[in-house]
Amino acid sequence: MALNKTANEICSLCSKKFLGILNGISKRNSHFIYKPDTNLPIQGKTEKLNMFQAINNALDITLKTDKTAMIFGEDVGFGGVFRCTVGLRDKYGKERIFNTPLSEQGIAGFAIGVANMGSTAIAEMQFADYIFPAFDQIVNEAAKMRYRSAGQYDCGKLTIRAPTMAVGHGALYHSQSPESYFAHTPGLKVVIPSTAVKAKGLLLSCIRDPNPCIFFEPKILYRSASEQVPLDDYELPLGKADVLTEGTDITLIGWGTQVHVLLEVAKLAQEKFKVSCEVIDLVSILPWDSETIFKSAKKTKRVIIAHEAPLTCGFGAELATSIQEECFLNLEAPVTRVTGFDTPFPHIFEPFYLPNKWRCLDAIEKIMNY
């Protein structure tokens, strides 16, 4: 724990430098190519924004339209170590955008209390890797509050944002994908965007959803994801997957950064093996869109699920089992998972750890020849 905190503090202190390196690496040799989102959910004025700017824009809209909304966490006051809250304190005041002491359990507990009183609480965990001290507050308290009081009290106005996933050199505690820990918790919603356009619409939905939501932001996309984002207010549905590319031979399911890996893999599979891939961005981990997934699996009869988190009990396991139960008669091959390994997330070995396009392509080849 003490080491955790130290790493956390160091990150906040050298964030600009950290981001500089991050940016450089993601341009030089990242494991994916970002595919801009051209699917605009609404008409109207747009601006080229990256993911952190789109998130900042969503928070700005929230603060403007919801007078009870407040944002807090470690270092959010000056703009956040990833710049997501930049400019907001000056615009809306330090009563609404404020730093908390360095304590994740405190942030989560405090946020639940704010939401209990009917105010909108947007709490930030600096890295998803440091959400675990708040696990008790999130799992035992936030998720169960409505249920245990039979609706007398809830914290539906709570949203927790946390940067997640690999960043090139984040090692054990700046790379984790903890979504499946939370997917096992009835009462929560868990959402992960893959583009700047989605980040804005999904975050606004999470903030306004009457249930506690965890919004995991793939930190490698903060700067690399960039496209025309509508400036007006819009929401994207929670619990709804997004079919990005239609295909006939195999379904590829991913979320967050991995979506972009899979889009590239689909192209490679077409070129190399003449295989038509259907690529699905799951978007919501809990509740997840079984309808879209089953429909696709029944059509293509083959499914690969890819996620950065470790294999065992990763969310791929839930998807694979459900697909097997629902689509048993349609499947032509075993549902396959391409994931991180059952090790902690390593530093120098990251290129060998990630479920990159070559491992995914290899899996497609094997499944097609099954």
Partner 1 sequence: MATYRYRCFKLVFSGSIRRKFSNQVSQLPSETTAPPLFPGAKTTWTEQLTFTGKDSYDPIPVYRVMDEQGRIIEESENPNLPDDIIVRMYEKMLYVSVMDKILYESQRQGRISFYMTNSGEEATQIGSAAALNISDVIYGQYREVGVLVWRGFSLQNISDQCYGNSDDVGLGKQMPVHYGSKQLNFVTISSPLTTQMPQAAGAAYALKGTNRVVMCYFGDGAASEGDAHAGFNFAATLDCPVIFFCRNNGFAISTPTDEQYRGDGIAARGPSYGINSIRVDGNDVFAVYNATKFAKSYCLKENKPVIIEAMTYRVGHHSTSDDSTAYRSAEEIKSWSSESPIYKLQTHMKERNLWNEEKEQQTLEQAKKDVLKAFYAAEAKLKPKWTEMFGGVYATMPKHLQKQMNEMKLHVEKYKEHYPLNKFAKE
Which position among 49, 145, 167, 207 is part of the footprint of partner 1 (CB under 8 A)? Answer: 145
Which position among 141, 227, 281, 350 is part of the footprint of partner 1 (CB under 8 A)? Answer: 141
Which position among 4, 245, 290, 324 is part of the footprint of partner 1 (CB under 8 A)? Answer: 290
Q: Judged by CB under 8 A, does residue 89 bind partner 1? A: no
Catalytic residue among 74, 104, 141, 235: 104
161: left (phi over 0), alpha (psi -120 to 50) or beta: beta
Q: Judged by CB under 8 A, does residue 146 bind partner 1? A: yes
Find out whether 257 and 221 touch, Cβ atoms under 8 Å.
yes
Which position among 41, 77, 106, 346 is part of the footprint of partner 1 (CB under 8 A)? Answer: 106
Which position among 57, 137, 251, 257 is part of the footprint of partner 1 (CB under 8 A)? Answer: 137
The DSSP secondary-structure symbol of 173 reads: G
**Cβ at position 283, least distance to partner 1 in Å:** 15
Burial of 239 (0-12, 13-18, 19+ CB in 10 A): middle
Give the SS3 label for residue 353.
helix
Residue 98 vs 273, nearer CB to partner 1: 98
Nearest to 107 by CA among 84, 81, 76: 76
Which position among 36, 87, 186, 334 is part of the footprint of partner 1 (CB under 8 A)? Answer: 186
Question: How many alpha carbons lie under 13 Å from residue 37 in its C-beta half-sphere?
Answer: 33
Catalytic residue among 31, 174, 260, 307: 174
Burial of 11 (0-12, 13-18, 19+ CB in 10 A): buried
Question: How many alpha carbons lie under 13 Å from residue 267 in its C-beta half-sphere?
Answer: 10
Part in contact with partner 1 (CB under 8 A); list of ranges 18-26, 36-44, 196-204, 283-291: 283-291
**Cβ at position 63, least distance to partner 1 in Å:** 15
Q: Judged by CB under 8 A, does residue 119 bind partner 1? A: yes
Widest CA span in the chain: 61
Q: Judged by CB under 8 A, does residue 93 bind partner 1? A: no
Part in contact with partner 1 (CB under 8 A); list of ranges 78-86, 113-121, 195-203, 328-336: 113-121
308 among known catalytic residues: no
- DSSP assignment of 227-243 equals EEEE-S-----TT--EE
Question: 46 — phi, psi (to 5°)?
Answer: -125, 165
Per the listing, tokens 């379904």 go with 251
Q: What is the Cα–Cα distance from 337 to 157, expressed in whole angstroms? A: 35
31 among known catalytic residues: no
In one-letter notation, the amino acid at residue 207 is I
Helices then strands, each counted (H, E), the chain: 15, 14
Q: Judged by CB under 8 A, does residue 12 bind partner 1? A: no
Part in contact with partner 1 (CB under 8 A); list of ranges 2-10, 55-63, 138-146, 274-282: 138-146
- Paired sense of beta strands 46-50 and 226-230, if any: antiparallel
Residue 46 vs 99, nearer CB to partner 1: 99
Part in contact with partner 1 (CB under 8 A); list of ranges 33-41, 84-92, 100-108, 332-340: 100-108
| Catalytic positions, written as ranges | 104, 174
Residues that bind partner 1 (CB under 8 A): 68, 98, 100-101, 103, 105-106, 108-119, 121, 133, 136-137, 140-141, 144-154, 156, 186-187, 189, 209-211, 239, 287, 290-291
